[in-house]
Amino acid sequence: MKIAIGADHAGFVLKEKLREKLARDGHAVRDFGTYGPASADYPDYAVPVARAVASGEADRGILVCSTGIGMSITANKIAGIRAALGTSPEEVRLVRGHNDANVLTLGANFVSEPDALSLVDVFLTTEFEGGRHARRLMKVADLERNSTGRHAPERARK
C-alpha cells in the first residue's frame, strides 16, 4: 500500500517510528516531513499528505501532532479527505469500516508508541463496509461539492 505520512515537531519522533515500521512491512512510504524536532506548523504537513491521498498518489495517510486534532481539522479541509483521530483499536476499526477514513491522525502526547503501531495496523487492514455507510458518505461528498465556500463569521476567526 502507498502511505503518505507527516508530522509537526510534536509528532516527529512517533512519525519516524511509524515510518520505519511501515517500510519494514513492505509499504511504499512517502514522508512529507517534518524531518527534525524544530518547531513546525502542522498545516504545512497535513495539507500535502491530504492532497496526496485525495489525488490518489497515496492510498492512505497518517498524520501526527501533539493531539492529532490540528492535523485532523486541517486535513479535512481538503476535498475527498476523511481524516479521523484514532485513540482505540475499536474506534479506528469503525472509522475505517463505517466512515471510510482515508487519513488517520494520532496525538503523540496521548498515545504510546506500541498503541500507535497497533492503531496503524488496524487502520491499514480494515476495509470499508459499504452498504448503508456508502449512502451516508455520498451525502457527505454532496455537501463537500455544494459548499458555499463562504468564510466563517469574524467572531469565529478570533
Evaluate if residue 11 carries a pLDDT over 60.
yes
pLDDT, position 123: 98
28-87 confidence digits (pLDDT tens): 999 999 999 999 999 999 999 999 999 999 999 999 999 999 999 999 999 999 999 999
Find the mean pLDDT for residues 135-149: 83
Q: Count Cβ neighbours within 10 Å for each residue of 111-123 and write b for 16 or more, e otherwise.
A: beeeebebbbebb
**For the whole model, what pTM was predicted?**
0.90
Burial class (CB in 10 A: 0-12, 13-18, 19+), 42: buried
Evaluate if residue 152 carries a pLDDT over 90.
no
Q: What percent of the chain has pLDDT over 90?
A: 82
- 3-class secondary structure, 6: strand
Q: What is the CATH number of domain 2-157?
A: 3.40.1400.10
Q: Could you give the residue numbers annotated as active site?
A: 65, 98
